[in-house]
Amino acid sequence: MSTRVDILVKSSVLRFSIHEGAFIYMMTDDRYTQLDGLEQYFNIDVKKTSLLETNLGFLPVCNTVLIRSDKNILVDPGNFHVGVYGPLKIELNKRGLSPKDIDIVVNTHLHHDHNQSNFLFRGKKLIIHRKELEMAKEVYWPEYVDAFFGILDIEDSIYEGMEIARDVRIIETPGHTPGSLSVIANTPDGLVAILGDTAMLRIDYTERRLSHWYSEEQKKLINIALDKISSMKPAVIIPGHDEPLLLKK
């Protein structure tokens, strides 16, 4: 059986602000505008504030990717509501699968929009970098870490280039977070690179137009990671929060 890659849940980002105590929701049809562009529109000075102090928030949904090889792998199950309200299970069912049929879950990094639906896969093997688990314990509270990471069987021997299934391996791509991972799948149509938020948007990969929130050190690491991905000559790039990028037919 050839290795297959499908996006089960497609990414979207809803931005919001608060005016006189009421939420105001904002949506554009351009992924860049929806992220850094709105902050520029609202004249937010990223040098004088932090992302969490801008009064301009996120309701993000990441790309959730299914890889079918000799094992069924789910990359980034996504936000809590993706699992609770059914979209993820519905998309699995369309392919003749259910959560119990998933063998391995990969969290490309610790951010909540990529891992809160881990709960659907209790007891399954979890691939997440040890640096991300360490950071999760600093960022979140103990019950959160137990609920979204501890209920899975965490693989504790991850290494660069580790093959997690036939024609599927993980590589280290730090920058967005210290332990960010990407997943490389060798398919009949060429290599598919699932980058998580190492490339949040297509232009992160094509133009290296990285977020203004990144430090210079983060940008340096992300560029190194993207160079490494590029050297593999992938046919398809799947960013964390954008449509796939087809690099060759």
> Alpha-carbon distance 130 to 127, whole Å?
9
How do residues 154-209 score in pLDDT, each as one tens digit?
A: 998 899 999 999 999 999 999 999 999 999 999 999 999 999 999 999 999 999 99
Q: Tens digit of pLDDT for each residue in 96-118?
A: 999 999 999 999 999 999 999 99
Please determine, for residue 248, whether its predicted confidence score (pLDDT) is greater than 80: no
Q: Indicate the pTM of the whole model.
A: 0.96
Is the confidence at residue 249, as pLDDT, over 60? no
What's the token pair of residue 98? Answer: 């259910």
| Residue that wins the pLDDT comparison between 53 and 197 | 197
Q: What is the pLDDT of residue 156?
A: 86
Q: In the chain, what percentage of residues exceed pLDDT 90?
A: 94
Q: How far is residue 7's CA from residue 85's CA, in Å, rounded to a whole number?
A: 18
Q: How far is CA 156 from CA 72, 74, 107, 132, in A?
A: 20, 18, 14, 12
Averaged over 232-237, what is the pLDDT? Answer: 98
CA trace torsion 85, 123, 70, 193 (10° rounding)? 60
pLDDT in tens, 4-46: 999 999 999 999 999 899 999 999 989 999 999 999 999 999 9
DSSP 199: G
Quick one: pLDDT at residue 184?
98
CB-side exposure of 194: number of CA atoms within 13 Å? 28
- Dump pLDDT digits (tens) for 66-77: 999 999 999 999
Could you state, in order of their start, the residue ranges of all structural domains in the chain? 4-12+59-246, 13-58
- Hey, what's the torsion of the CAs at 127, 124, 9, 89, to 10 degrees? 180
Least confident of 48-52, 123-127, 239-243: 48-52
3-state secondary structure 72-91: EEEECCCCHHHHHCCHHHHH
Level-2 CATH architecture, domain 4-12+59-246: 4-Layer Sandwich (3.60)
- pLDDT reading at 1 higher than 90: no
Distance CA 59, CA 80 (A): 11
